[in-house]
């Protein structure tokens, strides 16, 4: 009996009739709160005097009244107004839920099903089934249009966010190059693999997360110390940590401080080994110089594959070295191997070949060794040091030889 009585009293209660309405503005007795009925038929708190004046002006030019839940008319579908009728409301025991930030109702994930009433996904109100659109999800054309426009706006925002992403963040692995493959087939496989990898989309975070990442990267890029702070130095650090530096005499000659000047300049062309595929020689360009180190760029490929080496690195060679030593040189993307010519390419690019005098490895004294191409041996997999595998000597350069693991990809060569 108690539950029945409370249910009946809940049905009779109407929030609209409790308020004092004047010029479209409702006042809650005993408080200074003022409300208005928005275009969705829901109550909205008025927080601005200008907003109150706008409501009064709109009311002065429009004759209408806010009906109570008991006064809800039963008009046929043909006479349904364009805007949601004010008598669409929440069923007993299921009040409308408003957002704390906007004061607007938001969609419920699991709306309560009430016999004879239909739930509107936009304004979160309930009304007669006869008043719904044919789809049954919205109470009026305005609500349906509002949801459609909102979904379209969200799609546009997602597209704009994707366009704003730095293309360098979408870095993809450079395709493998096979030594035994035919040049024509090799080029086609590279193009197909690049196209397939370009179809892969990287998941993006929200705008807030991206702004945070950009802010963090901006902090990391600050090379100069702030004003009033000293630059970091080894002497101060060792003293602070009460540590001892490793004596220089313990390092080998090639590990010690460089004595020659770095003569490489940005834009110079050369030949070199791909660090990810050490059996592959490519056309390279000096992209940046920093002290005794140089940043190399693969011609025709994205700068995300750029890598740093010392100026005296053993894996970089002057123009024409591959032709002279019988090594296969992979030309820039878009060039055919049989048609590539260094002189023509340098003229086309208006670039300069790096002088031979800059390459320290050209002056190495070759000491004969017993290793020969084709010999078998056992070798440690550098990418998985716990593995010792059957390998083959596939190349000889000066005092070094290239190790290839039998039946494995050339990306493991070293």
CATH fold label, 368-414? SH3 type barrels. (2.30.30)
Q: pLDDT: is 406 or 258 the higher one?
A: 406
pLDDT (0 to 100) of residue 334? 86
What band does 40 get if pLDDT is binned at 50, 70 and 90? low
Least confident of 11-15, 26-30, 298-302: 11-15
Give residue limits of the domains in the chain.
2-148, 368-414
pLDDT (0 to 100) of residue 188? 52
Q: What is the pLDDT of residues 117-145, one digit of tens each?
A: 666 776 666 566 666 665 667 677 777 77
Does residue 279 surpass a pLDDT of 70?
yes
- What is d(CA 219, CA 264) in angstroms, rounded to the nearest whole number? 30
Q: What is the pLDDT of residues 81-118, one digit of tens each?
A: 333 444 444 444 444 444 444 444 444 445 555 556 66
Per the document, the length of the chain is 414
Give percent of the chain with pLDDT exceeding 90.
10
Which one, of 180, 369, 278, 401, lies nearest residue 392 by Cα? 401
Instruction: Give start and end residues of each alpha helix (H) in 28-117.
Output: 49-61
**Distance of CA 414 to CAs 230, 307, 380, 391, Å?**
42, 17, 10, 11
pLDDT (0 to 100) of residue 49? 77
Question: Which of 139-143, 160-164, 165-169, 181-185 shows the highest mean pLDDT?
Answer: 139-143
- What is d(CA 27, CA 45) in angstroms, rounded to the nearest whole number? 10
Q: With 0.85 as the threshold, say if the pTM is over it.
A: no
pLDDT (0 to 100) of residue 338? 84
Q: What is the pLDDT of residues 320-336, one digit of tens each?
A: 988 888 888 989 988 88
**Distance of CA 2 to CAs 9, 82, 112, 265, Å?**
11, 41, 23, 91
Average pLDDT over residues 296-321: 90
Angle between helices 141-164 and 207-220 (to 10 degrees): 20
């Amino acid at each position: 009996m108690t539950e029945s009585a409370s249910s009946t009293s809940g049905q009779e209660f109407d929030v609209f009739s409790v308020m004092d309405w004047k010029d479209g503005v409702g006042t809650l007795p005993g408080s200074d709160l003022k409300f208005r009925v928005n275009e969705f038929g829901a109550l909205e708190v008025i927080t601005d005097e200008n907003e109150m004046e706008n409501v009064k002006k709109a009311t002065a030019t429009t004759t209408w009244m806010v009906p109570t839940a008991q006064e809800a008319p039963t008009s046929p579908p043909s006479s349904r107004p364009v805007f949601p009728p004010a008598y669409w409301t929440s069923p007993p025991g299921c009040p409308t839920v408003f957002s704390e930030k906007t004061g607007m109702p938001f969609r419920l994930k699991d709306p309560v099903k009430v016999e004879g009433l239909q739930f509107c996904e936009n304004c979160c109100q309930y009304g007669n089934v006869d008043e719904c659109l044919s789809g049954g999800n919205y109470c009026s054309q305005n609500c349906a249009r509002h949801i459609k426009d909102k979904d379209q706006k969200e799609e546009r925002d997602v597209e704009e966010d994707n366009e704003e992403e730095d293309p360098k963040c979408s870095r993809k692995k450079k395709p493998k190059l096979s030594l035994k493959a035919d040049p024509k087939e090799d080029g086609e496989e590279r193009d197909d693999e690049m196209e397939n990898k370009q179809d892969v989309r990287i998941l993006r975070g929200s705008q807030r997360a991206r702004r945070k990442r950009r802010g963090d990267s901006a902090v990391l890029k600050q090379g100069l110390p702030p004003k009033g702070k000293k630059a970091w130095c080894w002497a101060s650090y060792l003293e602070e940590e009460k540590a001892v530096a490793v004596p220089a005499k313990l390092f080998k000659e090639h590990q010690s401080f460089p004595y020659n000047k770095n003569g490489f300049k940005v834009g110079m062309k050369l030949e070199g080994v791909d660090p990810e595929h050490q059996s592959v020689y490519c056309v390279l360009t000096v992209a940046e110089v920093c002290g005794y180190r140089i940043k190399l760029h693969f011609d025709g490929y994205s700068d995300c594959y750029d890598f740093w080496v010392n100026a005296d690195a053993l894996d970089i060679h002057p123009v024409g070295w591959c032709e002279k030593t019988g090594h296969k040189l992979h030309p820039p993307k878009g060039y055919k191997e049989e048609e590539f010519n260094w002189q023509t390419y340098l003229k086309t690019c208006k670039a300069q070949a790096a002088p031979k005098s800059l390459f320290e490895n050209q002056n190495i004294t070759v000491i004969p060794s017993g290793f020969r191409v084709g010999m078998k041996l056992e070798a440690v997999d550098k990418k998985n040091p716990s593995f010792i595998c059957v390998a083959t000597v596939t190349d000889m350069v000066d005092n070094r030889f290239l190790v290839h693991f039998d039946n494995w990809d050339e990306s493991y060569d070293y």
